[in-house]
Structure 1
Amino acid sequence: MGMSIPASVPVADEQLTSAPLVPWQLVVWDDPVNLMSYVARIFRTYFGYPEEKATLLMLAVHNEGHAVIATGPRETMEMHAQAMHGFGLWATVRKAPQ
């Protein structure tokens, strides 16, 4: 027989008592395969970045080995990472530093 929790028993809700949500970052990594123009085009078309921002981000990926392309909720950044994988780019998600 099923048991029910009496109404008088408090149920803890950790989300209500936890610290504010920490933003997450989408990091795109340099790779030896994709052309720089292709990477910039993906940043323009997928994220809607203007050409100048897309180019600066692409150059950061190329020159520094990686760049933070977007910041936001974890689920959104994971969705973006999967999309980048679909375009053949190397991408990971990490917690933003506090």
Structure 2
Amino acid sequence: MTTALPLEDLAEELTVSTSGPWQTVVWNDPVNLMSYVVHVFREYFGHPPETAQRLMLAVHHDGHAAVAEGGREQMELHVQAMHDYGLWATLREAGA
């Protein structure tokens, strides 16, 4: 026998599971030059040169890096922007 949750409890569970924080993750690809990735991180996110370089090296060596963290909608916009720059990017819940 299963027990149904009252609607209030279900709504609270949904809010908790989608409230984040979320991350924009950029993935390594065989196309873009490392200097271009640094350029994108500096231009779009406003990262200082050292941070952009560190993130690019994480993408290159580890295969991916979380380049931004925040609310889901903002991270979805960042993922789309990375796609517009020609980078591979996805969204994930932080800590997942």
TM value normalised by structure 2: 0.82
Equivalent residue runs for 1:3-82 within 5 Å: 12=8, 14=11, 18-19=15-16, 21-82=19-80
Size of the aligned set, in residue pairs, is 88
Rg (Cα) greater in structure: 1
Runs of 4+ in structure 1 over 4 Å off:
none
**Equivalent position SS for 2:16:** coil
Q: Residues 86, 97 of structure 1: CA spacing in aligned structure 2 closer, same or farther, 3 A cutoff?
A: same
Deviations 1:61-81 (A, max 9, x none): 000000000000111000000
Give the fraction of aligned pairs with identical amino acids, expressed as a percent: 59
CA distance in structure 2 between the aligned counterparts of 1:71 and 1:93, rounded to whole angstroms:
10
Aligned-residue RMSD, C-alpha: 2.2
Structure 1: any 5+ residue segments left out of the alignment? Answer: 1-10
**Equivalent position SS for 1:33:** coil
TM value normalised by structure 1: 0.80
Report the more deviating stretch, 75-84 or 17-26. 17-26
Structure with greater proportional helix content: 2
Structure 2: any 5+ residue segments left out of the alignment? Answer: 1-6
